[in-house]
A and B are shown apart, each in its own frame.
Chain A
Amino acid sequence: MKSLKYIRRTAAVLYGLAVLLFFLDFAELLPVQMHGLLHVQFVPALMVGSVVIVLFLLLFTLLFGRLYCSILCPLGIFQDVILRVKRWWMNRTKQKRKLRTKYEPPHNYLRYGVLGGVTVAYVAGSAFLLLLLDPYSNFGRITVSFFKPVVLYLNNAIAAVANRAGNYSFYNVTVEPQPWFMLLLSALVLVVLVVLVWQKKRIWCNTLCPVGTLLGLVSRYSLFRVRLDTEKCTHCKKCVSDCKAMCIDDVRGVVDSSRCVVCFNCLDKCKEGGVRYLPVGWMSEKKGGILPKVKVKEDVPANEFNESRRRFISGSLLALAALPVGGKMAKAAGLTSRRRYPLPPGAGSVARFRQKCTACQLCVSKCPVHVLKPAFFENGISGLMQPYMYFSVHEFCQFECNLCTQICPNGALQKMSLEEKKLTQVGVVQFHKEECVVYSKEEYCGACAEHCPTQAVHMVEYKNGLTIPSITPEICIGCGACESICPVRPDAIFIAGNEVQKKAKAPEVQQTQEEVVVDDFGF
């Protein structure tokens, strides 16, 4: 049975590493197709509406229990890494006994409360709670906030040395850290995660994680389960002590399969061979059964989640759920920014996007020019952390790129071909002549038209040989090239985001080349 643990560990390391590297790969070294790995993530699969994947994951859980939490959930794998760090630290400092844990009764009010809250809020039209608690997205946010800058600085250090030696296979990249609120929110989750793991291992997965709780409802009835053979049990508590979910109750002789994350740690701990991973029926129910339906009393000392803390948590969750309402109020009061920023191509509409995106930051991390940024209030309060387009020098949507639409695991950015994307209008150009340097200073510029891929911005004769920008909004796709390079950005020319993305009119071009015969120099 020992090999099961190694299989689990190998699978987790391979998958976790692949996901991590895909997030961190700033140089597009890894194949784009690797985004396929992310489609097995539960919440993204739900968002895409992929019945096949969701059913597969549920069936997989029904067969093997919550193995998903151990080998496919990046946040779960990350918690296991934190646990390893703890183990290393405790071993080093000779505090091994601190690694031992007891049985933890389930926090049913909390976990079902969270799941219920997330579901009710979602059905009622707010994906905000889901966005905050989705394990995959939290992993993405922590990775992009903290691990990515480390990788970039490391790259730049190597590049500095390599470039000096005349090797340019490494190059310096401009490090653009996530904005403060992203760092703050990711740090908050990270701290909570570390503290929880340090105290109670995978308690996050069995309280705050809606995916864990949902899969737990299924794994309760799974075919394969970890079971205790009560006849063999000597109550040495070795398995109990090593259980990541803290869900083995040797006193009652049960393993709570709704909380078991199927890490297989317990199996080889039992010298008696009394812990086994077997299909239901292979061990008689008398010898070991599923968790009895009696409610475990709160007087078990291991339970530190008291009533006031629970109230605090549910109160905070309620407050968070109420945020979208606050957003509407803010908007009504004119507190939002002076204009709407465009959403990334494929978002469809503000309303649709809000419901689909869980702000995993993959597109933000992968965008080759970093025109995609996590929003603070630019997308409204409930659009917190979801991407929007912000234009600045070098940062505008590349005409020949549709990467974000290809990789979004949630389908929040719908897949579109390059041709489609080139006609997707995410916003429309606005031109304020009075602010333009050609008008105000009577000087040459034309940077906007120079960058415009559709010539929705083009230069027309003005006076004294000067040309001034002129716009054709219906062929504008809102890529922001004009705004990004405007010397008086963002006053003279800017993109106003579309609430609903439209199809732009194709610019009129003849795809034929006129024959020109020139047989003289002309000078």
Chain B
Amino acid sequence: MDRKDFLKGMAAAGIASVLDMGMIRKAFADGVPAVANDGNMVAVMGGEPVPMLERMLAEFGGIGRFVKQGQTVVIKPNIGWARTPELAGNANPELIGALVKQCLAAGAKEVQVFDHTCDEWKSCYETSGIKAAVEAAGGKMLPANDESYYVEVELPQAVNMKKAKIHKALVDCDVWFNVPILKNHGGAKMTISMKNYMGIVWDRGYMHNNNLQQCIADVCTFQKKPALNIVDAYRVLKQNGPRGKSIEDVAVMKGLFASPDPIAVDTAAVKFFNQVQEMDLATVSHIALGEKLNLGTSDLSKIEIKRIKM
């Protein structure tokens, strides 16, 4: 699917929402947005973050497939904690910096990066090394610390969370990348690309109180899908996640998986994770709930996966 189709879908959904709900369902049943069904995945391992990113993008046909001249791009890494990169609490700063550079090279007008952090936001941006990396690459760090930066968005496909306040930058952008880090999670079991969506939302308290796993799946129904979900599995937080206690919680696994399909990439990531720490895929129930909402497939045999060892 290309941008035109996507926009067409969005427009259809917009018109439909004025008319009736049945038509929206029809629009989605028709495969709009169809990114998730465009199932393919590139999995790279064994390299450093930047070369792995470059290789992955090359396999997809280059960043130009996703980012066009003059577009505004949002990158949404996980920057939840005031933790240094070695502690694997946040997405890898080199990876984010390199992605910013790629987008700008592809002609992006502006590359914006934000996360709704858990720890105090400025200390997260700084300690994670992401602010420095993004700014060095020519991108912009956006604040996400105040409710005024969020706008209410309807989530018609959602089960529990029918609307959410989502960061304006994401609502306004032309294309976005979802860049989580692979981590164990005390509550949601795992935090990968679906759980990373929580950082685009203002009211997380609601999610914790209304069946977290369902709400995670719900927010992933946000109609503007990321061009790619890029899972940073270079350093993996295998226990005590998502914050981590010390360096012993971290395993250096040197992986990077990307797909437009969050269900597929999260499924793959859990399987990868299983090699260092046992994790039953079924207990990471937001994945199955997301599949039920047609967000993608957990049957990896159904999609084309390019596996590359560097």
Contact = CB atoms under 8 A, between A and B. Distances in A.
Most buried by B among A393, A452, A455: A455
Contacts of A220: none
A518 B275 contact: yes
Interface in B82-132: 82, 110, 118-120, 122-123, 127
A401 B206 CA distance: 28
A514 B186 contact: no
Given A173-B146, A174-B147, A446 B186 contact: yes
A443 interface: yes
A510 B275 contact: no
Given A437-B209, A441-B211, A518-B253, A450 B185 contact: yes
Given A171-B146, A455-B245, A467-B186, A523 B120 contact: no
Interface string B185-199: 111110000000000
B242 interface: yes
B183 to A, nearest CB: 10
Interface residues of A, number: 52
Contact of A450 (B209, B242, B283): B242
A315 interface: no
B153 interface: no
B18 interface: no
Interface string A435-458: 001000101111101111111001
A172 interface: yes
A398 interface: yes
B124 to A, nearest CB: 10
Interface string B248-279: 10111111000000000001100111111000
Nearest to B267: A523
B187 A522 contact: no
A488 B206 CA distance: 10
A400 B282 contact: no
Given A398-B120, A454-B245, A511-B246, A437 B208 contact: yes
Nearest to B142: A168
Contact of A399 (B82, B141, B252): B82
B247 interface: yes
A446 B251 CA distance: 22
Nearest to A487: B209
Contact of B82 (A393, A400, A512): A400
Interface in A139-164: 156
A518 B276 contact: yes
Given A173-B145, A452-B243, A368 B187 contact: no
B245 A507 contact: yes
A172 B143 contact: yes
B229 interface: no
Contact of A444 (B189, B268, B282): B189
Given A451-B243, A514-B251, A166 B110 contact: yes
A180 interface: no
A511 B248 contact: yes
A443 B253 contact: no
B292 to A, nearest CB: 16
B205 interface: yes
Contacts of B253: 516, 518
A312 interface: no
B259 to A, nearest CB: 12
A445 B123 contact: no
A513 B143 contact: no
Contacts of A217: none
A118 to B, nearest CB: 38
A458 to B, nearest CB: 7
A458 B186 contact: yes
Nearest to A454: B245
A450 B186 contact: yes
24 contacts: A28-B122, A166-B140, A171-B146, A174-B147, A401-B120, A437-B208, A446-B187, A450-B187, A455-B245, A465-B285, A485-B204, A486-B208, A510-B248, A513-B248, A513-B251, A513-B252, A516-B251, A518-B255, A518-B275, A521-B271, A521-B272, A523-B43, A523-B300, A523-B305
Interface of B: 43, 45-46, 82, 110, 118-120, 122-123, 127, 140-143, 145-149, 185-189, 204-206, 208-209, 211-213, 240-243, 245-248, 250-255, 267-268, 271-276, 280, 282-283, 285, 300, 305, 307, 309
